[in-house]
Amino acid sequence: MTDRKSHLEHFSEVENPRVQGRVLHTSVNIIYITITAALCGVSGWEEIDDFAESRRTGFLPSRNFLTCLMSRVR
């Protein structure tokens, strides 16, 4: 049997540079909505933000932070 991580386990390891206790959305949720948007053909941070809003998932952090966080996903 292989020792594979679930997507949740893998993405939960992404470093979150935000101050804990002031975070409304987890890194995993942000990554999930970003991947979901990309799979739906959305491109660019502004469109991803619009996609999240249209799905009533709440807002995503600023586009600058979104870019910063997603650059940490390997």
Rounded CA-CA distance 48/29 in Å is: 13
Residues 14-29 pLDDT 10s = 777 777 787 777 788 8
Six token digits for residue 4: 């594979």
pLDDT of residue 71: 77
Q: Can you give the pTM of this predicted structure?
A: 0.60
Rounded CA-CA distance 64/20 in Å is: 18
Instruction: List all residues 6 or more positions away from 30 whose beta carbon is below 8 Å from its beta carbon.
Output: 60, 61, 66, 69
